[in-house]
Amino acid sequence: MWHRKVRTVALCAAFVSLLTTLVATGAHAEYGDVVINNYSDTAGMRPVVFPHWFHRVRFRCKVCHADIGFQFKAGGNDITMLKIIDGEFCGACHNGDIAWPVENCALCHSAPPGTPTQVHESTLQKLVSPDSSEPVSTKKPAEPAAATTSEK
C-alpha cells in the first residue's frame, strides 16, 4: 500500500518532467507555416495558422500573391473577418464555393493563444542563437520586421 503511493508520486514527478521536456523541444511545424496574430489575441480567438504547403499543392503562388493581393510578409496584410466575408483575402476562396466557408472558425484559428506572428522555420528564426532554445509558442517574433507592413 505505502510503496504504491510512493510509486504513484514518482510517476507523477516523471510525468511533470516529461511535460517540461516536451514544451522545451518547441515547435516542429512545417517550413513556411505562417502564424498570423494581428488581431486574434485581442479578440479572444486563437491565432491563425496558414499552411503554405497545403495551399501550394493546390494553387500556384501567383493566385494569392498577385490575383488576390497578399503581400509577401507575415502580418503585413491587414486581414479582418469583415474583409474575409466580403470576399477579400482568404474570403476570395473560403466562401463555400472554391474552398470551405468561414464558419469553420477552428480550422484556421488553431494556434495556441499568444503565439506571435511568424514564418515558421524562416532563415532568421532558424539561426542558432540563445533565443532559439525557447519554445516558439512563447517566443517574441524572430522576424524583426514581422509586425510592420510590407516594404516596397
Residues in 62-91 that interact with other proteins by CB under 8 A: 62-63, 65-68, 72
Binding other proteins (rule: CB under 8 A), the pick from 81, 85, 124, 147 is: 124
Q: How far is CA 65 from CA 13, 69, 70, 82, in A?
A: 50, 5, 5, 20
Establish if 26 lies at the interface with other proteins (CB under 8 A). yes
Binding other proteins (rule: CB under 8 A), the pick from 81, 110, 139, 147 is: 110
Residue 2's Cβ-side half-sphere holds a number of Cα atoms within 13 Å equal to: 0
Establish if 7 lies at the interface with other proteins (CB under 8 A). yes
> Which residue from 73, 77, 78 is spatially nearest to 144, judged by alpha carbons?
73
DSSP β-bridge partners for residue 34: 50, 119
Site for other proteins (CB under 8 A): how many residues?
72
Binding other proteins (rule: CB under 8 A), the pick from 43, 56, 101, 149 is: 56
Q: What is the largest distance, in Å, between two alpha-carbon atoms of the chain?
A: 71
Establish if 10 lies at the interface with other proteins (CB under 8 A). yes
For other proteins, the closer of residues 10 and 43 by Cβ is 10
